[in-house]
Chain A
Amino acid sequence: QKEVEQNSGPLSVPEGAIASLNCTYSDRGSQSFFWYRQYSGKSPELIMSIYSNGDKEDGRFTAQLNKASQYVSLLIRDSQPSDSATYLCAPSGAGRRALTFGSGTRLQVQP
C-alpha cells in the first residue's frame, strides 16, 4: 500500500464546473496536509494547507480533511482552463516536517 494514494486521472471537467480531487494516506500520525499544483515542467506551487478536521476555504479552493478516515480532498469551484495541472497531495508524517507526496492527479479543464 502506498503511503499517499491519489487517482492519477486525468480528471476532465468542463469550464465553470467543480473539480473534486481526493487523497488517502496511511500514516495515522500525520498532522499537516498540503495541496500543491504543478504545471508540466514546472516545480510544485503550494495552494492550500489544512491542519484540523473540517473544511478550509481560500478563494475558489476548498480543502477538506477527515483524519478518522485518513482522507483529504481539494475542491476547485468555477474551474478554469488555467487550473489544468497536476495536483499533489502531501501530508507530513508524525513528528516530521518532510512531506510525503502522492503521485498526483492530472486535472484537465475543457473550455
Chain B
Amino acid sequence: EAEVAQSPRYKITEKSQAVAFWCDPISGHATLYWYRQILGQGPELLVQFQDESVVDDSQLPKDRFSAERLKGVDSTLKIQPAELGDSAMYLCASSSGLEQYFGPGTRLTVT
C-alpha cells in the first residue's frame, strides 16, 4: 500500500539551531501539504504545493521557515533558527484528488 514517507521521525534540537524535515509523497500525487500540529490542537496548514509551485504559504512564518519541492516530487521544510514555540508535530500529506493522506510525522522538540 502506498504511503507518505517522512524523516526523521523524531528530532531534538536546541533553540537557534537549524532543522530540516523531509517528505516523499505517494507516487503520482501532485499536491503536497505541510501541516503543524501542536499538542491538543488540530493540524494547521503551513504550505501547499501543486507540483513544484507554492499554492498557499499564507500561514508559513517566512522569517524562519522555508519550504521547497524542487522537482515536484519530494519536499523539504526548514526552520532556522528554531524557537521553543516550534515544538510540535510536523505532518506531510499528499493528494491526487480531494482526499489527503498523511505521513507518520516528525515530532520536533526544541530545548
* A44 beta carbon closer than 8 Å to chain B: yes
| Interface residues in A, total, Cβ within 8 A | 24
Mark contacts of A5-26 with chain B using CB atoms, 8 A cut-off: 1 yes-contact digit, 0 otherwise: 0000000000000000000000
CB-CB under 8 A from B33, the residues of chain A are 98
CB-based nearest A residue for B98: A32
Once the chains are docked, how many angstroms separate the CA of A59 from the CA of B60?
A: 38
Interface window among B14-22, B41-49, B66-74, B79-87: B41-49
Measured CB to CB, the residues of A under 8 A from B are 4, 32, 34, 36, 41-46, 49, 51, 88, 90, 92, 96-104
Q: Are B42 and A103 in contact (CB under 8 A)?
A: yes
> Which bucket holds chain B's interface residue count?
20 to 34
B4: nearest chain-A partner, CB-CB: A43
Shortest beta-carbon distance, B45 to chain A, in Å? 5
- Answer whether A96 and B56 are a contact pair too, CB < 8 Å, given A102-B42, A103-B41, A104-B42: yes
Do A97 and B91 form a contact, CB below 8 Å, given A43-B102, A43-B104, A103-B41?
Answer: no
A92 neighbours in B (Cβ, 8 Å): 98
A90 to B33 Cα, complex, angstroms: 14
Give the distance in Å from the alpha carbon of A98 to the alpha carbon of B33 in the complex: 8
